[in-house]
Structure 1
Amino acid sequence: MRVVSPALLLLAACGPAIHVPPPERVARVERPGREVELCVLMQERAVRPIWQGCAEASLAPWQFAIASVLVKHPAGLVVLDPAFGRGIESDLQRAGVVSRLAFGEARTKKPLVDVLEAAGVDPADVRYALATHVHWDHVGALGDLPNARVLIARPELEFARPLRRGMETGVMPHHLKRAKRRTFAFDFTGPPVEAFASSFDFFGDGAVVAVPMPGHTPGSTAFLVRSAGKTWLFSGDTSWTSRGVELPAHKTVPVDSDREQLAGQLGLLHAYLQHRPDVVVVPAHDATALELLPPCAPGK
């Protein structure tokens, strides 16, 4: 019997080839936007080893995070990716063996509402909740934000609504059901912005603009936000780390709904960063990138 080396097994996670588009594909589309204040709501931080993909044959420490981002807009408070809810312990029990191994114990995690309250924010004052995608660790707190209007890309809602179980898909439908009457779909009917072919401007002022980023899930979304003189791109789980965009490289394990499509997004993000090194790409689980934002705190 032939013995397969661990290195070959790890290389199997590399996935489809990532093609980086030419510079003309990522030429900037000028669209100035209102600046808003941002801060991070950290709900878990840990250090884990991660395979950086076939572009870099090594294990490297991953500064892992679960977090939400608070946007202070004149129209009201916005939470990007309302992550862990009060039911985090039962969520982990539902999640299956792989997720439990990946996420660890509930005692190391803080529900979003606790982090909001510690920052001096009443969860009832949050007016909008936006999700990069509907995996349970990105929408677990939807039901804990009673007055928030939930806005999710239509392809992502269409992906999620027929699902009844979350073990295989990463989706736990009860989170969406708790906010069903407050949930609305949006379409990418807006013009090109930055490197992206279409967009949706939530407030019509360029402050928070969604762009399509399918691959990890069918309707995955990224958010462009202007703050502190910079453009921030919150890219969800397209890559778990900034390093995955810089290389570019696939994730450690194949957890994406369409890896060919995701490879295209990684190539686009990589080219975009080369063309616009001033843009800050923030993967949803990269603590180092998230901590470039100030922590939310009372009076700030």
Structure 2
Amino acid sequence: MRIHHINCGTDCPFGGGLFDGRSAGPLGHLVCHCLLIETNEGLVLVDTGYGLKDVRDPFPRLSRPFAAMLNIRLREQETAIRQVEALGYSPADVRHIVLTHLDFDHAGGLEDFPNATIHVMAAELEAFHQRTGFVPRNRYRPMQLDEVRNWRRYAPDGEGWFGFQAVRQLEGLPPEILMVPLKGHTWGHAGIAVDTGDGWLLHAGDAYFYRDEVRRPDRKCTPGLRLYQNMMEVDRRSRLENQARLRELSLDQGAGVKMICAHDVVEYEAARAGRPL
């Protein structure tokens, strides 16, 4: 099983280091960190980032307020479909897409892979269709899902995994890929765990946003990302409890679990280069 770390979207919010913790100028640098996994069952994507239609005709597929707030930079070469092609594959080789959640910057490329089976928590799809309130209407964009038909929905009722409960094995996928419920950022948010053969890799999605929220005993987060997390959360208690459990797991050297989130550029660069996180 081979894992490719790909960035499927760049955001440059005003505030620089107040968001990403390192930029010296006025603009920050956030990524949409996705995974492309080679398996015996074909290619598997974990999240898609922005898609071709988002790039070519962004509104109303994307929310204008959120696009302005994040200062989104839409680039065709960063879409998952173009990166799949750049690796020598056809979009039809992508058989499965496993979603951490359905926010616009995680699910925008679903329509670029019409033959893929889409795996998501049932609670997330339900929340997407309800879209009640300012944040849900702007985070969940119906046009991004208009042509998506092949869904697999999961309830949180599986096995245990390093202290997390209700972890699901996914239909049609090898047992090395698991969905780990991490409610809080959204109602159906999940992490995706992959057994690499040399330990586990957990894509935690938006369960945390900044590299120093894990791998250290005291949580540290930039003001901009702390504010964004608070604005987007649906269940603060669950979000913070799950984040604390992730932090504990990240500090457990015996567990052998490497952890990444969706938007931290330093984590993404380290993962791409094969450096320790």
Structure 1 counterpart of 2:262: 284
User: Aligned residues, how many?
Assistant: 253
State the Cα RMSD in Å.
2.6
| 1:267 partner SS | helix
CA drift at 1:68: 2.0
CA drift at 1:63: 5.3
| Mapped partners of 2:90, 2:100: distance in 1 | 23
Give me the identity figure in percent: 21
CA contact 2:10–2:74 (8 Å) conserved in 1: no
Alignment counterpart, residue 159 of structure 1, candidates 123, 127, 133:
127
Structure-to-structure mapping, 1:1-300, within 5 angstroms: 36-44=1-9, 48-50=16-18, 60-61=22-23, 64-89=30-55, 90-91=57-58, 94-107=62-75, 110-163=78-131, 168-179=137-148, 181-202=149-170, 205-227=174-196, 229-245=198-214, 246=216, 247-249=218-220, 251-253=225-227, 254-276=231-253, 278-294=256-272
Unaligned runs of 5+ residues in structure 1 are 1-35, 53-58, 296-300
| Mapped partners of 1:287, 1:101: distance in 2 | 18
| Mapped partners of 2:73, 2:251: distance in 1 | 38
| Mapped partners of 1:267, 1:230: distance in 2 | 21
Q: RCO higher in 1 or 2 (8 Å CA, sep ≥ 6)?
A: 1
| Mapped partners of 1:259, 1:153: distance in 2 | 19
Counterpart amino acid of residue 185 in structure 2: H
| Mapped partners of 2:173, 2:7: distance in 1 | 28
Of residues 115-124 and 146-155 in structure 1, the stretch that sits farther from structure 2 once superposed is 115-124
| Mapped partners of 1:217, 1:167: distance in 2 | 9
CA contact 1:44–1:110 (8 Å) conserved in 2: yes
Of residues 247-256 and 221-230 in structure 1, the stretch that sits farther from structure 2 once superposed is 247-256
Counterpart amino acid of residue 248 in structure 1: R
CA drift at 1:161: 1.6
CA drift at 1:98: 3.6
| Mapped partners of 2:206, 2:233: distance in 1 | 9
CA contact 2:7–2:33 (8 Å) conserved in 1: yes
| Mapped partners of 1:44, 1:204: distance in 2 | 26
| Mapped partners of 2:182, 2:97: distance in 1 | 18
Distance verdict in 2 for CA 1:95–1:204, change over 3 Å: closer
Counterpart amino acid of residue 87 in structure 1: K
Unaligned runs of 5+ residues in structure 2 are none
| 1:69 partner SS | strand
TM-score, reference length from structure 2:
0.81
| Mapped partners of 1:104, 1:86: distance in 2 | 14
